[in-house]
A and B are shown apart, each in its own frame.
Chain A
Amino acid sequence: MSLFSYLFTPRPKTAAIAKERLKIVLAHERAGRDAPDFLPRLQKELLAVVSRYVQINEDMIHVNLGRAGDTSLLEINIELAGAKAKDGLAPVS
């Protein structure tokens, strides 16, 4: 790098990067902080029920408490793609 460009190239404003990163991580952490304690238990019990019918792993169930405007949103995602039906039951399509 020439002396000229060293002297005159503006350096990136790292404070702006810090602010952006903090905003994102805190938004995430604040959402988690307000989550009720029963979410992990709910996830476990759902897994138990679903596994009676299909073979799934723990990482195929996601329970999240979110917010949409004024209403709380309990979001439950169960991945069935690739899951096998238990013996004696009709196959999952």
Chain B
Amino acid sequence: MARVIVVTSGKGGVGKTTTSAAFAAGLALRGHKTVVIDFDVGLRNLDLVMGCERRVVFDFINVINGDANLNQALIKDKRNDNLFIFPTSQTRDKDALKRDGVERVLDELKKTFDYIICDSPAGIEHGAITALYFADSAIIVTNPEVSSVRDSDRIIGILSSRSRRAERNEPPVDIHLLLTRYDLDRVTRGEMLSVDDVKEILSIPLLGVIPESESVLRASNTGTPVVFDPDSPAGRAYVDAVARFLGEQREMRFVKPEKRGFFRVLFGRA
């Protein structure tokens, strides 16, 4: 049975699109047929992060309105056969994302895909609510910083009261915390909320910790999901998070100081 996963946060700029791209690519690398949908109508960016911006012909809104069919709009990734990108529209009409239309498209996608990743826009307006409404699972992307944690708490509240599962009294959306832009050095100095602090405040299970890493910007510069860069700390952390999502046990990396070798100390960090 296909699973709908929403990647959401409330706050903007915390790494939702990076996470959606990395998670979708990670699931595809594990052999699951996966589509990632951009719900940020008017501010299309997933196509850039996935590196397929020049291949967009039809979009989500075209399919909802019946102007194009799914096969015309879905973009097949060139790096992995299991991975598909569903770009959104650049229209300024935010209400173009009609709930019944979205439901129809999702039901259609469920017939062929194992996982449907919904990349939510920031905020708690129509677009964000539509992105989370049909979710079976949610990944809450949070930075170790006060405004991000507060907005995450807000969005968790909305998931448990306004999602379809909540409205229908079905088993609740299963919610996971993904802590991004984590800087262990600053945590050690007492300057940044620790992973345990955030877990304690939000009290949802932890899916992974993504370290602040230069590789994330490098990846978006070139339009490559960061999991395709196996040497990068962030890429490895996302691969681990995907494995945990699939039910595997993996120890958290980048949350304890690592012993640095002599050369590492001399020549700086990776």
Contacts and interface: CB of A to CB of B under 8 A. Distances in A.
B201 to A, nearest CB: 5
A19 interface: yes
Given A23-B201, A30-B157, A16 B150 contact: no
A81 interface: no
Interface residues of B, number: 17
Nearest to B157: A33
A76 to B, nearest CB: 26
B187 interface: yes
A25 B147 CA distance: 11
Interface string B177-196: 00000000001011111100
B76 interface: no
B193 A19 contact: yes
A8 B151 CA distance: 37
B38 interface: no
A61 B200 CA distance: 36
B147 to A, nearest CB: 10
Chain B, interface SS category: helix
Chain A, interface SS category: helix
A18 B146 contact: yes
Contacts, number: 38
Interface in A2-55: 11, 13-16, 18-19, 21-23, 25-26, 29-30, 33
A75 B223 CA distance: 56
Contact of B153 (A14, A16, A18, A30): A30
A30 B152 CA distance: 12
The interface centre, meaning the residue of A15, A21, A26 with most chain B CB atoms within 10 A of its CB, is A15
Interface string B195-209: 001001100000000
B190 A26 contact: no
Nearest to B153: A26
Contacts of A22: 146, 149-150, 201
A44 B83 CA distance: 56
Given A23-B201, A26-B201, 10 more contacts: A14-B191, A15-B192, A15-B197, A18-B146, A19-B193, A19-B201, A21-B146, A22-B146, A25-B150, A29-B150
Q: Which 3 pairs, one residue from A and one from B, show the smallest C-beta to C-beta distance? A: A13-B190, A19-B197, A15-B190
